Structure 1
Amino acid sequence: MTAAELDANLTWSIVRVARLVGQRLTDRLAEHGLNPVQFGVLAHLAVEGEMTQADLARSVLVRPQSVAPLLDGLQQRGLIERTGDRARGRRNPARLTADGFRALDAVRGIALGANDLSDVGLPLERSEELNRLLLEVIHATDGARPRDGDQLWTP
């Protein structure tokens, strides 16, 4: 494989950029005690109001088995609350608490600011176009659902 062939590989380019921007967001959110997956949970709950663990797993692209401990941690911090019975097989939706809304508000500017990739060579208007194109793929596939055992998706 040549360097030109490697650069022509769209999926590898997406992985490389995802790692770059993911690490930037991780670093910025860490100052507020959150990681990107936790941010995603809070943001989706803010949009949807209340979601089941299965819906959250699909929305933030984690394995369903990873959601319970993730939500446990957010609940212990007072950022979410569960509204159902925690018995196996029962709906156990989660929703944001007032502290969860405050935490999300505190990092909203960080998340939006991470969209500006001008410091790595992509002007803001091109970043917006890139996001539009990526959303086309996401919406066409109903999100990239993780497979069991796929370590890429572990929070």
Structure 2
Amino acid sequence: MRVPDGAMTAGELDANLTWSLVRVARLAGQRLTDRLAVHDLNPIQFGVLAHLAVAAEMTQADLARSVLVRPQSVAPLVDGLEQRGLIARSGDRARGRRNPVRITQQGRRALDEVRDVALGANDLTDAGLSLPESAELNRLLLKVVHATGGARPKDGDQLWSA
């Protein structure tokens, strides 16, 4: 079968690393979303709790960068987690003032409850990878993340909304 001029072949599409990454990212994201939903969390909320468990406290701007959401999206995200008692703000909430966020004991319990769920999503044996291959994939992805400082959302980028 002849491919029309300018058209891409299936082989060329499969050779496109970045498109493959997007496809796998969507698969992995949905897998984690489905598993966390049972615990009334989504991947971004999990990311906030996980980052706050590592750092004593973070500003909302730091959280936005860490969990890859637009700065405008982080306030409602933090509000929701605070209303559930999973995180707490410290300091004055006045505009332009530093307003650190920290994880609460209830947040730590919620994170502990989903730790094995999140780690279990790393097992991609049902997606064709052995456990060592899954670990190698993660190592390579982290190499890119660390070399580039990680992905950063741009204003208006809908992929990064909470």
**What TM-score range do you get, normalising by the shorter chain?**
over 0.9
* 1:91 and 2:61 matched: no
* 1:2 and 2:9 matched: yes
User: Aligned-residue CA RMSD in angstroms?
Assistant: 0.5
Deviation at 1:84, TM superposition (A): 1.4
Q: Identify which of 108, 128, 131 aligns with 2:135.
A: 128
Partner of residue 23, structure 1: 30
Partner of residue 58, structure 1: 65
The CA distance in 2 between the partners of 1:111 and 1:21, in whole Å, is: 11
The CA distance in 2 between the partners of 1:49 and 1:11, in whole Å, is: 35
Q: Is the 8 A contact 1:81 1:95 kept in 2?
A: yes
Scaled by the length of structure 1, the TM-score of the pair is 0.99
* 1:150 and 2:157 matched: yes
The CA distance in 1 between the partners of 2:109 and 2:50, in whole Å, is: 11
Q: Is the 8 A contact 1:58 1:143 kept in 2?
A: no
Percentage identity across paired residues of the two chains: 79
Partner of residue 38, structure 1: 45
Deviation at 1:143, TM superposition (A): 1.2
Instruction: Note the alpha carbon deviations across 1:121-140, whole angstroms, 9 max, x for none.
Output: 00110000000000011111
Scaled by the length of structure 2, the TM-score of the pair is 0.95
Of structures 1 and 2, the larger Rg is shown by: 2
The CA distance in 1 between the partners of 2:96 and 2:131, in whole Å, is: 45
Q: Identify which of 65, 76, 82 aligns with 1:75.
A: 82
Deviation at 1:16, TM superposition (A): 0.2
The CA distance in 2 between the partners of 1:49 and 1:28, in whole Å, is: 27
Deviation at 1:10, TM superposition (A): 0.3
Q: Is the 8 A contact 1:118 1:124 kept in 2?
A: yes
SS of the residue 2:139 aligns to? helix
Question: Which residue identity does 2:56 align to in structure 1?
Answer: G
The CA distance in 1 between the partners of 2:91 and 2:139, in whole Å, is: 36
Partner of residue 49, structure 1: 56
Query: 5+ residue gaps in structure 1?
Result: none
Give the 4+ runs in structure 1 shifted more than 2 A. none
Instruction: Note the alpha carbon deviations across 1:86-138, whole angstroms, 9 max, x for none.
Output: 11110001001000000000000000000000011001100000000000111
